[in-house]
Homo-oligomer: A and B are copies of this chain.
């Protein structure tokens, strides 16, 4: 990577780990992370953006190492007081975390776009990486289940992913505008790699692909697009991806994930455990350790992704930038 940028597409906890690795592996301002906002919702009158905030806190070294979401060194006085007042407590909001929701809601109310607010807040927290909401327009992931059509947080948090998923939809996606800066970054000849982070393909990446122009921009991107599997050895590293795949009648395998991104990716990374499956994937595939826990592991996987991208750029049949 020499001066060029890298774009990551990312959901929450799982994806944010690789985003952090990329930020550690790259020059300070080289990384742009396009983040799913389909999980965003209004709660207690506040606009909550779970994936954006997980990415922000992770990149700012403020994330909670125990939960993956929320802030480290958090206090919970607000929730305890809210409970005593009879308020809704099914969605946990830490005291420090709350500051972001209150400040964001206030500024959205003044008409500021979400992207501008997140950029300002990221700057305040010392994050040089560009954190780009996939859209400034509301998109709501809805989950059709055996218990009816559920708002995402109702399915994910309140019902702990217990209902059986039949289909997943993205309300508002058809008319939402994809983030201009995200589309630009995907199309830019300066961009040297595009990484689909190991996020849930159906809940975290598909909302982005549902935005007008974003899928096409990804498919037409001059930079190589590499996806990293969120499935290792038949289970999801984090979250309900495996359960959802089963319920949707899909095989819980990195091969399914690679097929899901067919036409979009130029390379795929699966876990070393699943090395034997590489020959079932119809795109250049690398098998490495993808279970990343320490900072060093995150950075190492990021470096592997970046050098894989470099090799794909330089491969015959591709025009090097």
Docked complex Cα distance between A185 and B86 (Å): 28
Binds B, one of A98-106, A205-213, A226-234, A295-303: A98-106
Q: Contacts of A45 on B, CB cut-off 8 Å?
A: 45, 102, 105-106, 109
Q: When each residue 85-99 of chain A gets 1 if its CB lies under 8 Å from chain B and 0 otherwise, what string results?
A: 111000000111111
Q: Does A246 contact B (CB under 8 A)?
A: no
Known: A75-B77, A77-B94. A85 touches B99 (CB 8 A): yes
Q: Contacts of A98 on B, CB cut-off 8 Å?
A: 78, 81, 95, 98
Q: Contacts of A86 on B, CB cut-off 8 Å?
A: 103, 120-121, 124
Q: When each residue 59-98 of chain A gets 1 if its CB lies under 8 Å from chain B and 0 otherwise, what string results?
A: 0000000000001001101111110111100000011111
Q: Which residue from chain B places its CB closest to the CB of A77 in the assembled complex?
A: B95
Docked complex Cα distance between A126 and B272 (Å): 60
Q: When each residue 105-124 of chain A gets 1 if its CB lies under 8 Å from chain B and 0 otherwise, what string results?
A: 11001000000000011001
Q: Does A46 contact B (CB under 8 A)?
A: yes
A154 to chain B, nearest CB (A): 17
Q: Contacts of A125 on B, CB cut-off 8 Å?
A: 84-85
Given contacts A45-B102, A87-B99, 19 further A-B contacts (CB under 8 A): A44-B106, A45-B105, A45-B109, A75-B75, A75-B77, A77-B94, A77-B96, A78-B96, A80-B96, A81-B95, A82-B99, A82-B102, A84-B99, A84-B124, A85-B100, A85-B125, A87-B102, A95-B98, A98-B98
Q: Could you show 7 A-B contacts with beta carbons less than 8 Å apart?
A: A46-B102, A74-B77, A75-B75, A75-B77, A82-B102, A86-B121, A95-B98
